[in-house]
Amino acid sequence: MRGVPGGRLTPCVLVPAVLLLAGCGGDQNALAPKSHQARDIASLFWWMMAGAWIGLAVVVALLLLSWKRAGRRGVGDDDEGSKPGERTGWYVVIGGGIVVPIVLLVALFAVSNLFVIRTTQAPAAGSTRLTVLVIGHQWWWEIRYPGSDAVTANEIHIPVRTPVRLEVRTDDVIHSFWVPQLNRKIDTLPGETNAIELYADAAGRYRGECAEFCGLQHAHMGLYVFAEPRARFERWLADQAKPAAEPSGSLAAQGRDAFMNGTCSSCHAIRGTSANGNAGPDLTHLADRTTIAALRLPNTPQRLRDWIGDPQRYKPGNEMPSVHIPPDELRALVAYLRGLR
C-alpha cells in the first residue's frame, strides 16, 4: 500500500501546530525568560515537566510489567489462594502508589516554595529604585509614576537592569497583569494593592496581556513594557511629566477646540488644558505611544482616525461611544492629537 501523499509533511505541520496551540513561541513566551524571576519560573516549569514525565514513565512501565506477567500466567487461573508474587505486588503498590508520589510532590513543592515563590513575591521595602503604579480598567491599563506627574496608558517604560516595584490596582473588576518574559501574573483586586518586582535583563520591548477574564474585550487588553538605558528612561519620564504641547498650526488648533468643546474632554485628560476627564486614558503625550486602545491598533494617523471615527467597531462594548464626527472635524482632531508629543 502506498503512503498518503504528503505523509512526511504531517509532522512538519503537526509539531508547530501543537507548539502554537500550547502558546509556545511568539513575543509572550514564558520559556524565553528575560529576568531572574522569569528564569526561576521557567526552570520550575522544566522541573515539573521532568517530574511528570518520570511519574508517567514509572506508571507505564508498571502497567507493561503487569500486562506481561498476566499474559504469561494466563487469564482466569489466578482466582484462589495467595500467589508467590503477591507480596512483591503489594510492595509495588505501596512504593509506587504512595511513597514515590509523596517524595516527588514534596520535592517539587519545596523547589517551588523555597525558590520560586520567594523570588517572585512582592519586593521588600527599599529593595527597588522606582515604583510604577498600574491601574486596570475595562479594557486598558492606566500607568502612573508616583513622585512624578507622568501619566500614560498601556505602555510602561522602565530602566533596564533596575529593580522596579510594580503596584497594581483596579478601577472596576479583577484583571491580571502578566508580562510572561519578566515575571508571574499579578491580580488586580478591588480595594487592594498588590505588588511584584519588574526587572529586565536586557533593553527591549516585552509584551504583556490581561490574564484574567474581565469582560467582552478581555482579549484586547494588551500592554508593552519598554526597558531602556537609564538616561533614556529619565528623559522619557521628564517629558511625560510635562504638560501638553500647544497645537502647531491652525488645523491642530481647530482640533483642540473640537476636543475641549466636544465630548472628548469629559472622558480624557490632557494636562495643561481644561480637559480633565478620567474615564479614558490620559492623552497628554498620546503621540509618543506606539499603539492605541491597549495595543488593539498601531498609533498611526490613519488608525487614530479609524479609532476615533468608530471605536465600537474595533472594541465592541468599550466605554468610548461611536458618535458621528464630521470628516473635517475628525481631521482636525487627529492633527491635534498627533501633535501631543
Where do contacts with ligand CUA occur on this chain (CB under 6 A)? 136, 139, 175, 210, 212-214, 218, 221
Rank residues 185 and 338 by Cβ distance to ligand CUA and give the closer one.
185
Measure the CA–CA gap between 237 and 304, rounded to whole angstroms.
24
Q: Which residues of 311-337 are buried (b: 16+ CB within 10 A; e: fewer)?
A: beebbeebebeeeebeeebbbbbbbbb
CB of 170 to ligand CUA, least distance (A): 9
Q: Report helix, strand or coil for 2.
A: coil
Nearest distance, CB of residue 9 and ligand CUA, angstroms: 38
Q: Which is nearer to ligand CUA, 116 or 156 (CB)?
A: 156
CB of 139 to ligand CUA, least distance (A): 6
| Nearest distance in Å: CB 137, ligand CUA | 8
User: Between residues 158 and 211, which has the closer beta carbon with respect to ligand CUA?
Assistant: 211
Q: Which residues of 98-129 are buried (b: 16+ CB within 10 A; e: fewer)?
A: eeeeeeeeeebeebbeeebeebbeebeeeebe
Least gap, CB of 293 to ligand CUA (angstroms): 13
Provide the greatest CA pair distance for the chain.
101
| DSSP secondary structure of 256-315 | HHHHHHSSHHHH-B-TTSS-B--SS---TTGGG-SEETTTTEE--HHHHHHHHH-HHHHS
Specify the residue, 139 or 145, whose C-beta has the smaller distance to ligand CUA: 139
At its nearest, how many Å lie between ligand CUA and the CB of residue 188?
8
Cis peptide before 139 (omega within 30 of 0): yes
Q: Which is nearer to ligand CUA, 196 or 340 (CB)?
A: 196
Cα→Cα distances 271→63, 109, 254, 290, Å: 70, 50, 18, 20
Would you say 123 or 136 has its CB closer to ligand CUA?
Answer: 136
